[in-house]
């Protein structure tokens, strides 16, 4: 202080000595004081952690000096005798000490509770080449905004303390696996430049009771030391649900170890002792928030809850571009927007895995760059599995082709939200063939039309087999199971039948009469039967498309989006069929089959004429549909069942 006032008085008499120079000197003195205080804190922490070892070393040094002094005071005979027996005595002493230390460390001093944690200093984080910043994370805009606010609070701790506020105790990251929760925690540590301790929730679980709580105490003790040294510290607990799920109690003592670990976590975060150190706990879990203990979720422990969701279309495209920059790829053949549409509902980790798999496929094919076919094959391997190369007969392969063609045609023309991306008759994962489809845009809820379209598409393979062979195979089992499940959910749970509204699964079964259950089941069966009739009518009227599609499948084995678009575009130019007929399901005033056929095939035709495609004309020129004009007034009696008449004419 005397130096400060002396410098201040000197400034009054020297004009060359400005106020800026005085501030620089004061800052230098403050930095020296801060360094001195930092060194003293380091020395105190070292003494607090290693005082036992320091005392042991001091005692050993004193003992050695005393032994040397005692040997020098002995006669030569006794001195030589003592020196000769010292090696064997030292060997026995070392053996006894080793046995004692082993028992002490493994039984008495918590050797079983040793933590396998990883501690990273704040300076190491900012200087590391692999440091993760918010700019490196694609998407997650809402979560990043909340995380940036936490970082600002950690950086400006003095201001928060000055106005009487407190830094938040915990952040809970929720969301599906592979969406960037760990990256977000690393970015918080990188941006705030404070120590970061990472640990997994499973490391607190052991056979021995009390080990988890002991590890939790050691973890927070070390975190407080780092916070005392650096001002704050972050603890990242991955898979928090292992120790954070709701506590259970039983007469047999099961769950007591997890309960004690969780109780210790609750006390350490916000217990009776309180905390004067800035220790921030970040927990990540893939489960629902409701599975965690309520005491853990209350304010004062996990104050913020950040939802980390799957990326949308724009974010998926940016993620694909980011990972493609790390590999050599053909920019002319790869359409990142199309790949983003095919990877709907995929996490960033799954997208990264697909790019890596595509690189392996390209290397296996002796290519220098990744192209579109490599990425498509990689996505097929991830979504559909590896091809099993089953030996199938010609008849079985043909039946599979017509089955998948029915699915694809119905999906392309009738589904309001999904689009078909691939059709295959190559056996994968136990399936003889499959049609891969995804929503065009992210859908977070489904309406009645979408569910009805799912049922229509599911039974389309059944209808195609029935039309072609007048019989069906066991390949329709999974389709019928899915259609029955959706229809049952619509009637019993979602109230999407005509006149029965309510979630009847929430009603106790004893409260529902047998007649009412039978009525619900009849409504369920009616949905499936009506959907089957609609798709059967649709496929019969457009059977030429199904034939062409099935033959292309038999020829190539697989059809991607571009190949299917060429097939559908050729027939769509001849008739305007891109419409959604599933909205007509369960309509009280259904249109007649002749009107539906007329509106689908010729929107510009006269209202008194009906279009019928004859088998002979379709065989001669299948691409050009000849219209046979018939007057309904003259053949009123023969048109009582127009559907059966047309089926006879175009049935293959």
Residue 16 exposed, middle or buried by CB count within 10 Å (0-12, 13-18, 19+): exposed
C-alpha distance from residue 241 to each of 92, 258, 286 (Å): 49, 11, 8
Question: Cβ of 469: how many Cβ atoms within 10 Å?
Answer: 14
Complete DSSP assignment for 259-315: HHHHHHHHHHHH-SS---S-EEEEEEESS-GGGB-HHHHSTTTS-EEEE-PPP-HHH
Options 268, 404, 465, 552, the catalytic residue: 404
Compute the radius of gyration of the chain from its Cα atoms.
Answer: 38
Sheet order of strands, 279-285 included: 118-120, 196-200, 233-238, 279-285, 170-174, 304-307
What tokens appear for 198 in the block? 């990472």
Q: For residue 329, what is the DSSP state? A: B
Alpha helices (runs of H) in 365-476, residue ranges in sequence order = 372-383, 394-414, 448-469
- In three-state secondary structure terms, 6 is helix
Question: Quick one: which of 169, 168, 174, 167 has its CA closest to 142?
Answer: 174
Please state, in angstroms and rounded to a whole number, the distance separating the CA atoms of residues 412 and 437: 9
Q: Distance from first CA to last CA of the chain, Å, rounded? A: 105
Q: Are strands 434-439 and 418-424 parallel, antiparallel or unpaired?
A: antiparallel
Strands 434-439 and 279-285: unpaired
Q: Cα 181 from chain centroid?
A: 10
Q: How many other C-beta atoms lie within 10 A of the C-beta of residue 402?
A: 23
Contact 204, 116 (CB under 8 A): no
Neighbours of 523 (CB within 10 A): 20
- Is residue 9 classed as helix, strand or coil in its secondary structure? helix
**What whole-number distance in Å separates Cα of residue 225 and Cα of residue 274?**
15
Give the tokens for residue 297: 């979720």
HSE-up (13 A, CA, CB side) for residue 82: 12
Judge whether 610 and 636 are in contact, CB under 8 Å.
no
- Residue 404 a catalytic site member: yes
Chain CA centroid to CA 308, Å: 9
Closest listed residue to residue 232, CA positions, set 183, 168, 148, 298 = 168
Question: Which residues are marked as active site?
Answer: 404
């Amino acid at each position: 202080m005397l130096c400060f006032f002396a410098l201040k008085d000197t400034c009054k008499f020297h004009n060359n000595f400005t106020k800026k120079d005085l501030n620089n000197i004061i800052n230098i003195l403050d930095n020296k004081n801060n360094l001195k205080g930092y060194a003293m804190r380091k020395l105190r922490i070292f003494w607090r952690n290693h005082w036992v070892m320091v005392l042991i070393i001091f005692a050993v040094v004193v003992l050695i000096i005393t032994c040397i002094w005692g040997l020098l005071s002995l006669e030569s005979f006794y001195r030589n005798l003592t020196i000769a027996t010292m090696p064997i005595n030292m060997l026995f002493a070392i053996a006894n000490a080793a046995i004692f230390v082993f028992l002490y460390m493994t039984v008495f001093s918590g050797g079983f509770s040793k933590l396998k944690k990883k501690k990273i200093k704040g300076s190491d984080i900012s200087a590391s080449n692999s440091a993760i910043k918010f700019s490196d994370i694609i998407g997650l805009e809402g979560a990043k905004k909340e995380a940036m606010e936490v970082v600002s609070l950690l950086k400006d701790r003095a201001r928060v303390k000055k106005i009487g506020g407190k830094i938040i105790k915990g952040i809970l990251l929720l969301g599906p696996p592979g969406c960037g929760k760990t990256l977000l925690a690393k970015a918080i540590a990188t941006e705030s430049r404070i120590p970061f301790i990472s640990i997994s929730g499973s490391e607190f679980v052991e056979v021995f009771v009390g080990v988890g709580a002991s590890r939790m105490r050691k973890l927070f003790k070390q975190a407080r030391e780092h916070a005392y040294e650096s001002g704050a510290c972050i603890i990242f607990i991955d898979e928090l649900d292992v120790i954070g799920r709701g506590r259970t109690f039983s007469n047999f003592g099961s769950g007591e170890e997890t309960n004690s670990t969780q109780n210790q976590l609750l006390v350490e975060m916000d217990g009776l002792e309180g905390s004067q150190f800035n220790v921030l706990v970040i927990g990540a879990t893939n489960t629902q928030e409701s599975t965690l203990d309520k005491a853990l979720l209350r304010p004062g422990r996990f104050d913020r809850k950040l939802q980390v969701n799957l990326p949308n279309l724009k974010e998926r495209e940016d993620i694909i571009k980011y990972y493609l920059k790390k590999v050599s790829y053909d920019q002319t053949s790869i359409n990142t927007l199309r790949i983003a549409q095919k990877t709907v509902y995929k996490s960033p980790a799954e997208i990264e895995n697909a790019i890596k798999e595509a690189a392996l496929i390209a290397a296996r094919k002796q290519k220098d760059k990744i192209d579109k076919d490599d990425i498509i094959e990689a996505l097929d391997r991830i979504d559909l599995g590896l091809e099993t190369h089953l030996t199938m007969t010609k008849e079985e392969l043909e039946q599979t082709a017509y089955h998948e063609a029915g699915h694809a045609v119905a999906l392309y023309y009738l589904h309001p939200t999904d689009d078909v991306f691939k059709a295959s008759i190559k056996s994968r994962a136990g399936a003889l063939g499959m049609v891969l489809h995804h929503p065009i845009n992210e859908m977070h809820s489904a309406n009645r039309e979408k569910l009805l379209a799912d049922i229509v598409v599911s039974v389309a393979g059944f209808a195609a087999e029935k039309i072609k062979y007048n019989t069906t195979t066991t390949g329709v089992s999974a389709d019928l199971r899915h259609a029955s499940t959706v229809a049952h959910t619509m009637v019993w749970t979602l109230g999407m039948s005509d006149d029965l509204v309510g979630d009847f699964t929430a009603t106790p079964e004893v409260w529902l009469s047998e007649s009412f259950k039978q009525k619900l089941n009849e409504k369920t069966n009616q949905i499936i039967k009506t959907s089957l009739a609609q798709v059967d009518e649709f496929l019969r009227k457009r059977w030429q498309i199904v034939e062409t599609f099935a033959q292309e499948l038999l020829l190539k084995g697989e059809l991607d989006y571009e190949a299917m678009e060429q097939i559908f575009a050729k027939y769509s130019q001849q008739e305007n069929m891109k419409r959604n007929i599933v909205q007509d399901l369960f309509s009280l005033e259904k249109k007649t089959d002749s009107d539906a056929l007329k509106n689908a095939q010729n929107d510009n035709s006269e209202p008194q004429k009906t279009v019928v495609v004859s088998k002979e004309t379709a065989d001669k020129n299948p691409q050009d549909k000849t219209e046979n004009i018939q007057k309904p007034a003259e053949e009123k009696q023969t048109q009582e069942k127009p559907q059966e008449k047309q089926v006879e004419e175009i049935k293959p």
